[in-house]
Copies of this chain bind each other. A is one copy, B any other.
Amino acid sequence: MKLVSVGTVAFDAIETPFGKTDKIVGGACTYISLSASYFNDNPKLISVVGDDFPKETIDLFHSKNIDTEGLQIKEGEKTFFWSGKYHQDMNSRDTIDTQLNVLETFDPIVPESYFDCDILMLGNLTPAVQLNVIKQLPRRPKLIALDTMDFWMQIALDDLLAVIKEIDVLTINDEEARLLSGEFSLKKAANKILTMGPTYLIIKKGEHGALLFDKNNNVFSAPALLLEEVFDPTGAGDTFAGGFMGYLSSQDEITWESMKKAIIVGSAMASFTVEKFGIERIKGLNKEEIDNRINQFKEMTSF
């Protein structure tokens, strides 16, 4: 199935307890597309960068057969930049600097060649921009997934609720699920969020794994892999989403069974990303190491 992803392609500067980076390539759509490329033979990307964005990364996208027709390159402008520092527990971080640059006026344009998209992944962005992408598609995709964050719940809740109404899968973390629903119990939170539009809800719990809920009261729990070190969590959630959507796009049908397997695939892909800074680990994986990682999840959970 044809997969289109929308989100940032950006620069990050990251500090963790294990070290710090200069400006490196990051962005939700970078992680999503790279991760999906291991399961989809031509993932399509929609984003925007400035003319300071490295040609090598665009070449990397092409080497993974990622379609960049939807990537706008703004002459004379600068790429979105985020800088942050993680705390010891790696579950929380402080933003040190945000330079929106090209993102400030980002108006995504869906190329005609993307119109027959079956699966649409809306990475974390202004909810109005996410809705704008859905509206440009002449035929509704079979599956629309959306990632968002607490920030939009606080400053653009109405817009967020409007786009959530139009989607099939929502991915948020546990604190965001509590914020969006006003419920502390994740089970109650899930039940409430599933009345807002989506058929499926994924709650990401970082080192504690992820939960998948549907409207039929089904629940699936995936662990996170236990790594000796989480070196840099940046992009883990987006890599998860890319593996998840990439795997689904490789299936004939979207069912509860394929959704569960997709959660495991996404978790396996995310476990690579956190092993090194940025896209270092995710950019050059092979099928065997991915299969081994997925098997580790199988061993960790089967009884």
Residues of B within 8 A of A226 (CB): 186-187, 190, 211, 219, 221
Q: Are B209 and A300 in contact (CB under 8 A)?
A: no
> Interface 1/0s, chain A 220-252, versus B by CB < 8 A?
111100111110000000000000000000000
With a cutoff of 8 Å between Cβ atoms, the chain B residues found around residue A219 in the complex are 226, 299-300
Count copies of this chain in the complex.
2
Q: Is the beta-carbon distance between B185 and A227 smaller than 8 angstroms?
A: yes
B221 contacts A209, CB within 8 Å?
Answer: yes
- Could you list some 26 contacts between A and B, CB below 8 A? A88-B184, A89-B184, A185-B227, A185-B228, A185-B229, A185-B230, A186-B207, A186-B226, A187-B227, A187-B228, A188-B228, A188-B229, A190-B226, A205-B208, A208-B209, A220-B300, A220-B301, A220-B303, A221-B223, A221-B226, A223-B223, A257-B303, A260-B303, A261-B303, A263-B303, A301-B303
Q: Which residues of A contact B (CB under 8 A)?
A: 88-89, 184-188, 190, 205, 207-209, 211, 218-223, 226-230, 257, 260-261, 263-264, 298-303
